[in-house]
Amino acid sequence: MLKLVGVETFYGKIKALHGVSLEVKEGQLVTILGANGAGKTTILKTISGLVEPEHGTIHFNGQRIDGEDSEKIVALGIGHVPEWRRIFPELTVEENLLMGGFLIKEKELLYERMEEAFRHFPILEKRKKQIAGTMSGGEQQMLAILRALMIRPKLLLLDEPSLGLSPILVRDIFTTIKDLHQSGVTILLVEQNVNRALSIADYGYVLTTGKILLSGTYEELLNEEKVREQYLGEGKYMRRSKLWSG
């Protein structure tokens, strides 16, 4: 469904991706793991057209999408939930969802989709007139996900959805992601919560400083010395000194 080959992305002169190749098959939940600054966000941004790759190709359902406008990529059915739950803080919940359906031309369909989103997460319906920035972190994250679901994406890109949430909310978010996946949405998930991410993923990639270091299934990755050592070995938290060791 999605295939990246040798993708290189720059920020000015800084090379953030050094030839990334990865694949997401229809119906899969694939996760990208990696330390801070590894380039995970950059991969997602490159896929959804927020930044343009210098080299390499990206194909989505057989169609080449690298270098296309994000407007067109969204229309093809790629939904992106940006890092740090980038909702529109000064818009109401309802307006946030309407923005998610920005490319939907028919009014009826737009409101139908909104109803559907509220059914996913009924708490938000009661708050549809609330200014989104005044909601709790968990609610905002849910809203960010629902907003991306407005176009009923074929592929959903999730950038660290559990970032900054309490453990209970993290659990809820992962349950939601799992439900979404089971309802048939293909998902590319970026996470630092390695255990949780791998436990729901079909396949994982480990990224270090812009390069794919390893890839495999949950079991395969668990057996990898490096993954255990760097991400799982030391209980819940990564040691800071290890974050930068690549």
Partner 1 sequence: MKGRYEDENLTWIPILIVGIFLLPFVLKGLTYSYKYYLFVLNMAGIYIILTVGLDLLSGYTGLISLGHAAFLAIGSYTSAILVDQVGIPFVFSLFISPLIVGLFGFIIGFPALRITGMYLGLTTMGFGFIVKRLIIAFREWTQGAGGLEVSFPIIFGYTFKSDWDNYFLISAFAILAVVVSRRIGKSKIGRAFMAIRDSEQAAEASGVNLAKYKMLAFFISGIFAGLAGVLFAHTSHFISTDHFDILLSIYFIIMVLVGGASSIYGAVLGTLFIVLLDYLFVPEMKGWIQEFLNIEGGDIQSLLFGLIMFLFIIFQPTGLYGMWLKMRIYWKLFPFNPKKKFI
Ligand X SMILES: Nc1ncnc2c1ncn2[C@@H]1O[C@H](COP(=O)(O)OP(=O)(O)OP(=O)(O)O)[C@@H](O)[C@H]1O
Q: Give the interface with ligand X as residue ranges (CB under 6 A).
A: 11, 14, 16, 34, 36-42, 83
Lookup result for tokens 């109401």: 92
* CB closer to ligand X out of 14 and 168: 14
72-101 positions binding partner 1, by CB under 8 A: 74-75, 80, 82, 86-92, 94-95, 98-100
**242 burial via Cβ count (<10 Å: 0-12, 13-18, 19+):** middle
Q: Which range, of 38-46, 48-56, 94-102, 142-150, touches Mg ion by CB under 5 A?
A: 38-46
Helix (H) / strand (E) containing 218: helix 218-223
Q: What angle (nearest 5°) sits at the alpha carbon of residue 148, between those of residues 142 and 149?
A: 85
* DSSP conformation class of 230: I
Cα–Cα distance, 116 to 2 (Å, whole number): 26
Min dist. Cβ of residue 165 to ligand X (A): 15
Min dist. Cβ of residue 20 to ligand X (A): 11
Question: Quick check: 50 binds partner 1 (CB under 8 A)?
Answer: yes
37 binds, among ligand X, Mg ion, partner 1, none (CB under 5 to 8 A by kind): ligand X
The first and second tokens of residue 215, run together, are 């890839």
* CB closer to ligand X out of 42 and 96: 42
* DSSP conformation class of 105: -
Min dist. Cβ of residue 112 to ligand X (A): 34
Where are any strands of DSSP class E within 36-97? 55-60, 63-64, 78-81
11 binds, among ligand X, Mg ion, partner 1, none (CB under 5 to 8 A by kind): ligand X
The b/e string for 161-179 (b: 16+ C-beta within 10 A; e otherwise) is bbbebeeebbebbbebbee
14 binds, among ligand X, Mg ion, partner 1, none (CB under 5 to 8 A by kind): ligand X
* CB closer to ligand X out of 40 and 113: 40
- Is residue 117 classed as helix, strand or coil in its secondary structure? helix
The binding site for Mg ion (CB under 5 A) comprises 40-41, 83
The binding site for partner 1 (CB under 8 A) comprises 48-50, 69-71, 74-75, 80, 82, 86-92, 94-95, 98-100, 102-103, 111, 144, 147-148, 151
